Amino acid sequence: MTYKTKSIIYFFCFVFAATAYHITDQYQDFQNQISSQEVTETSFEETSEYDEVSEEELAALPE
């Protein structure tokens, strides 16, 4: 094999290893977030408090 061929093979191996490491690290972070005991607080609002939007107002909005 020539030097250029070996370099290309080593480069693709490096890219594959870096990608595999990144995916594994992201997966572990995701699993840690799922298994954490943190709770997100939410607040809900009644939709009846909002005014109805007419079709004329919707037509006047820029696209």
1-57 pLDDT, tens digit per residue, is 899 999 999 999 999 999 999 999 999 988 888 887 776 677 777 766 566 667 777
Residue type, 5: T
Give this prediction's pTM. Answer: 0.49
Q: Letter for the amino acid at 6?
A: K
DSSP state of 61: S
At 28, list the tokens: 């572990």
State residue 50's pLDDT score.
Answer: 62
